[in-house]
Every structure is written in C-alpha cells, then in structure tokens.
C-alpha cells in the first residue's frame, strides 16, 4: 500500500513538473517575441502579432522573430533529447551530440560550401558584393547535413565491423571528429579573407538564420525522433540495468543502440546544418532532468525536450539583450550558461576519485 502511494506521489510530481515546464516555455516564447533591437514597444509588438501593426513591425514579428522563437523551441528539444539518448545508449554520462563528431563534420561541410561552392570564393575572391550574389545558405545547410550524416554512417559502419560496444563508438567518434577538425583548418588556411570570415561566422550558433521552411524540416525530424524514443522508452529503462539484463528481456541491444544513435545524430545534424554549432544543450538538460526526476525515460524524454527548449529560449533572449544592437552568437551564450552547470555536475558526483 505504501509503495502504491509513493508511486502515485511520484507520478503527480512528474505531471506537475511537465505542466510547469510547458507553461514556462510558452511564457518565455511569448516574451522572446518582444525582445530585440528594433525599439518596438510592447503595444506595437502586440499589434504586429495580430497583423495590425505597421508593415515594418509586422515583418519583424512574423518573418524574423516568430521563426527564430520556433527554431529555439524545436532545436532545443532536439539537441537535448539527442544528448539524453546518447548518454543512455553509450552508458556515458558525458556523451552529447558532439560525441560522434556530428558537429565537426557539419562545420567542415559548411566551410567547404562557403569557401569553395555556395559562396563561390574560389572564383569571386575577396569581393563582398560577389559573395552576396553567389552565396546560397540553403546549399550550405545541405552540404553541412550531408557531411554530418555521412560521418555518422561511417562511424556506425566501422563499429559494426567489431563489437558494437559504447567505448568503440565513443573512440571512433573522437577520431573521426578530429579528422574533420583538421580538414576544416586546412580548408580555412587556403580561404580568402572574406571566405574565412563567412565560414567562421557560420560556425557560430545563430537562430537568426531560421525561417519557416527550416523550422518545418527541423520539426518533422525532431517529432519523428521523439515518437521513436518514447516508443522505445521501456527498452532504454531496461538498458540502464546493463546489456545482459536487457538481452534477457528479449531486447536486441546492438540494433537498438545503432538505430538510436543514428536517429539522435540525424536530429543533431539537421539542427546544426541550419543553425550552426550550439553546444552544451545536449549535456546540461539531460543531466538536470535525471538529477531531479530520476532515470525513467517515459518522463525524462519529454522533460529533457522541454528543458532544452527553455534553455535555448533563455540563451536567445540573453543574446539579444546583451548584443547592444545585434544578437550575440547563441552558441556562445549556451556555453557560458552551461559550463558552470557542467562543472557543478562533475564536482557534485558522489564518487570522490582522485585525478
């Protein structure tokens, strides 16, 4: 009887946390619509939100800020749940969307596109006007995604040649990620000044690039991933008890790990290819969620999604408030917000191993 009451209490607590997070995300998303450098008053913003403002204000709200807010909600949820699944399947508390070198590969693909192809710097040189004519942001995103997805398939393919163990995946990801980083450095070394500047700016996480088209693509990818992860939640819970235990329950651990890592990496690749590198969301949010609510993936998956959205909305709001006329890179803000939490997590662990 006591155990039943305890379970009911835990369920009520989980429902309350999810409800409060939904309210917090919704309220912060609305607040983000009225933060920016346009000096738009709250009244003018509300009028523009209902389509009754000036043409300029209507464009700012509907063509810039709403896609940006949606991108923060979608990408935050995707990166956070990807980090949670990677930590579970790899049995590594420090795993994140960058563990498999996804971000490194996307950065190389974007640099290749900007420096050589989409930006056309091999032919336009240092003429900024030529860059404006030749640049194709969508082509940059496509090439960034192609390299990120190809890198994931390469890593997982190499791991299937040997035992598909978490350590092998992590080591392969670190090795391949280092190769992409070196290739990016070599590519940038031969770039012109304009090409190098554009490539470096792209690598900054920037929600300002978002549009309704990119939001729809990210949303479709993230929803497919979340639905799959929720359906597999009981398998992830079983995996927490160890591979041997999971296999006795009829779970094909290697296949589950392969599909889960592939889908989590695809989510990351899509978000990074459109928005640039946004770090720490996939580490901090899952850790905070598990610390507060435990390990049950039926709860941690939706809560991780909501907390990721909340963190990215906070970071985006801070980036626009601190930018004094232009938004700071949101990737830098997430790192500034995430690093202290990350250090606190490390030093709050019960184990007191000496370095």
Read off the pLDDT band of 202 (50, 70, 90).
confident
For residue 204, what are the β-bridge partners? 277
Q: What pLDDT is attached to residue 232?
A: 96
Cβ partners under 8 Å of residue 167, min gap 6: none
H-only helix segments in the chain: 2-32, 42-49, 55-59, 66-90, 102-112, 121-124, 128-134, 137-161, 166-189, 193-203, 212-231, 233-239, 243-248, 253-275, 281-293, 297-322, 330-348
Read off the pLDDT band of 347 (50, 70, 90).
confident
- Residue-range domain boundaries for the chain: 14-28+74-96+212-342, 97-203
pLDDT digits 0-9 by tens, 266-279? 999 999 999 998 98
Least confident segment among 93-97, 128-132, 238-242, 308-312: 128-132
| 269, 141 contact by CB (below 8 A) | no
CATH architecture of 14-28+74-96+212-342: Orthogonal Bundle (1.10)
CA dist 257 and 251 (Å) reads 11
% of the chain exceeding 70 in pLDDT? 89
Q: What is the DSSP letter of 207?
A: G
| 282, 85 contact by CB (below 8 A) | no
Cβ partners under 8 Å of residue 147, min gap 6: 105, 106, 108, 109, 112, 180
For residue 121, pLDDT beyond 60: no
Q: What pLDDT is attached to residue 1?
A: 59
| CA dihedral of 303, 309, 314, 318, whole degrees rounded to 10 | 160
Q: Which residue has the tokens 């609305």?
A: 30
Pairwise pLDDT comparison (198 vs 67), residue with the higher score: 67
CA dist 149 and 146 (Å) reads 5
Tell me what the mean pLDDT of segment 315-332 comes to.
80
Q: What pLDDT is attached to residue 124?
A: 45
Read off the pLDDT band of 198 (50, 70, 90).
confident
pLDDT digits 0-9 by tens, 37-58? 777 888 898 999 888 889 999 9
Burial (0-12, 13-18, 19+ Cβ within 10 Å), 345 = middle
| 159, 168 contact by CB (below 8 A) | yes
């Amino acid at each position: 009887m006591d155990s039943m009451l305890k379970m009911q209490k835990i369920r009520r607590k989980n429902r309350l946390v999810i409800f409060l997070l939904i309210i917090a995300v919704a309220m912060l998303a609305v607040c983000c619509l009225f933060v920016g450098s346009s000096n738009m008053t709250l009244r003018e913003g509300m009028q523009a939100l209902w389509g009754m403002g000036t043409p300029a204000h209507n464009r700012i709200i509907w063509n810039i800020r709403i896609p940006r807010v949606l991108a923060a909600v979608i990408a935050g949820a995707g990166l956070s749940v990807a980090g949670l699944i990677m930590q579970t399947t790899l049995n590594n508390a420090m795993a994140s969307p960058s563990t498999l070198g996804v971000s490194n590969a996307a950065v190389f693909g974007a640099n290749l596109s900007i420096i050589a192809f989409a930006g056309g710097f091999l032919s336009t040189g240092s003429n900024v006007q030529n860059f404006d004519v030749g640049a194709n942001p969508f082509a940059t995103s496509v090439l960034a995604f192609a390299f990120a997805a190809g890198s994931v398939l390469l890593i997982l393919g190499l791991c299937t040649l040997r035992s598909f163990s978490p350590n092998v995946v992590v080591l392969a990801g670190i090795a391949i990620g280092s190769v992409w980083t070196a290739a990016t450095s070599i590519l940038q070394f031969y770039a012109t000044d304009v090409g190098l500047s554009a490539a470096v700016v792209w690598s900054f996480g920037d929600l300002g690039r978002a549009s309704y088209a990119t939001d729809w693509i990210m949303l479709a990818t993230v929803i497919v991933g979340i639905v799959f992860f929720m359906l597999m939640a009981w398998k992830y819970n079983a995996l927490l008890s160890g591979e041997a235990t999971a296999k006795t329950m009829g779970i094909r651990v290697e296949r589950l790990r392969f599909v889960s890592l592939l889908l989590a990496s695809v989510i990351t690749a899509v978000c990074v290819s459109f928005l640039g590198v946004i770090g720490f969301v996939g580490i901090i949010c899952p850790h905070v969620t598990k610390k507060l609510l435990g390990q049950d993936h039926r709860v941690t998956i939706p809560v991780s999604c909501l907390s990721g959205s909340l963190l990215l909305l906070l970071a985006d709001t801070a980036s626009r408030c601190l930018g004094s006329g232009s938004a700071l890179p949101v990737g830098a803000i997430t790192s500034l917000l995430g690093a202290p939490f990350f250090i606190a997590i490390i030093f709050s662990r019960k184990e007191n191993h000496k370095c």
